[in-house]
Chain A
């Protein structure tokens, strides 16, 4: 079983709820846990097979830095005009994906599959 973390934006609880509902609707609540701390010490301690957060969340840079350092598969979503409508891997950072928040629901299963596959490959 894999464990992914959805890091909540402490400033936007109503927006978190929107995406938590999608996670629930897709039946991913068994693999995706919710995490609501952006304290540096807490984020530094995270152990996960993948991390998901909004690109506009408070402390996004902190999460991104640890994602790079710990090589977490990382999905960030946002409503920015440059956000792609499909799960798109960053050209320069392997395992870092982005998606237009309107297409979060469509992209999430693919990201979960990626994390699952990655964990299996690492075990082998």
Chain B
């Protein structure tokens, strides 16, 4: 007797089709497997939506290949009862897989399925994909938050949908691995092991919460800060040549994802992993694409600059030889160089399956903030260990992305630093000590921030250290603003002031800023008053003020650092105009 498996819209649709409307062939086999089939069988898909029927029939080749590998029930053929499936789709799959059409039924023999060569022979691809399949399992485990005794794994009722790996599970090797993992859950896993996995799931949920905190902090409107740097910057925007909207709050975090396999499932998987966060992914598969988009953002001002980047190291088939046999550069390193050359301080996380130490070292030396190994040698592990490894790979990702997002909070500092560096390189600053001070600060800031974030120092310590660094620039700035020979202010030689050495508490910066306020005509004591506020913060930093115990210590905020850098920029711009007056 032939068994008929009826696919129902209400019962099976969510398990078979992911929200992005791709079909999960692996799950189709799980449903059929649950029907206890012996011999040939019929699959009735007429109750599914037409679009889903079209999709299922179009992917019949993947089903035919995987079914015999995973759930060999002794069937020679399968009959598929269809509704109004597109004629062109039927013709194509029937021709390619040597099927036949009888009325509304398509009949295929498993042995005659088209054996289109897959990328599975490439060991890099298989290793890569294995990590992806595991990550998808981890997502499902985290989503259900707890494995109960009654949680089903292998069958068609399971809440483990593995939709994040829909594409990867068409790879026979990895589908087999996951099949074994799911089967073993149903049969051999003990209560103790379940408890162990549940503890790990809770840890993953905690990590996710930390990422959420980092995302919220990055998206927080900077005008909500006690030191309103947004209005400050907007008033100076045109005078300082600041990019328009630089301090505007964003609704979503932009991440550039550079991976030659992004279209083969990684994009879908990452989108699923990040689906609870306001994060938008823009994908690239080559350095050419990255370069073109950099120009698009920088020169044509189209699209948004990224807040962070995830970069795979191997972006071309030629890289395989390099990775296996020597330590030559993989093409992903060039992408890192290109990104950091353009956007100093951009947090770059390497996302690679490579376990070569030289790649890890080089990535960090090139300026990456973290190295995420997106796969593991799970073929050497038991099925029990595989589940823990899946959660490990996921936690590593969340951890490293959190680090990158935390670093992205300082991105405006890096942008102002870039403007300062341009002025230094232009020769605006003739004072060598000042140039050195600015250059050191700008060059060291990304590394300093990465290092402090690696150390898991709290935000206050990072900010205090960076803020103090900017305030030290002011010490050098003073001598550039005072003409010792003429005993006059450099920018305002007509101003009547006491000699530099006589000015109490080195008021030369304050005096210069007050004059600038008049010139800028932006109302009142603007720059000068902001500078006074910042000096007050500096004087109350715990490292300057001493103990926090008496309650008068104050920590610096990111906005204080940004504000202080904007003042330095304003003064340098004026020095530039003074020494290199424009023709107009």
**Residues on A facing B (Cβ under 8 Å):** 10-11, 38, 40, 44, 55-62, 65, 69, 78-82, 84-86, 100, 102-103, 106
Contact = CB atoms under 8 A, between A and B. Distances in A.
A61 B170 CA distance: 27
A10 B167 CA distance: 26
Contact of A44 (B89, B264, B283, B300): B300
27 contacts: A56-B262, A56-B263, A58-B285, A58-B288, A60-B289, A61-B284, A62-B292, A62-B293, A65-B302, A69-B302, A78-B263, A80-B263, A80-B264, A80-B265, A80-B268, A81-B22, A81-B166, A81-B170, A81-B264, A81-B265, A82-B20, A84-B54, A85-B86, A86-B54, A86-B86, A86-B89, A106-B88
B70 to A, nearest CB: 18
Contacts of B86: 85-86
Contacts of A80: 22, 167, 263-265, 267-268
B73 interface: no
Question: Sorted from nearest, which 8 A-B pairs have the closest CB atoms?
Answer: A85-B58, A81-B167, A58-B288, A59-B292, A82-B22, A106-B88, A81-B22, A62-B292
B296 interface: yes
A58 B300 CA distance: 18
Interface in B272-298: 282-286, 288-289, 292-293, 295-296
B252 to A, nearest CB: 15
B268 A61 contact: no
Nearest to A55: B263
Nearest to B285: A56
B301 to A, nearest CB: 11
B379 interface: no
A40 B289 contact: no
Nearest to B87: A106
A80 B21 CA distance: 12
A60 B286 CA distance: 10
Nearest to B256: A61
B303 interface: yes
Contact of B58 (A10, A65, A103): A103
Nearest to A106: B88
Contacts of B267: 80
Contacts of B265: 80-81
B268 A82 contact: yes
Given A40-B295, A65-B302, A84-B55, A59 B288 contact: yes
Contacts of A59: 288-289, 292-293
A113 B295 CA distance: 34
Given A61-B284, A81-B268, A85-B89, 15 more contacts: A40-B300, A44-B300, A56-B285, A58-B286, A62-B296, A80-B167, A81-B167, A82-B21, A84-B21, A85-B54, A85-B57, A86-B89, A103-B89, A103-B92, A106-B88
B10 to A, nearest CB: 22
Nearest to A107: B88
B296 A61 contact: yes
Contacts of B58: 85, 100, 102-103
B299 interface: yes
A65 B303 contact: yes
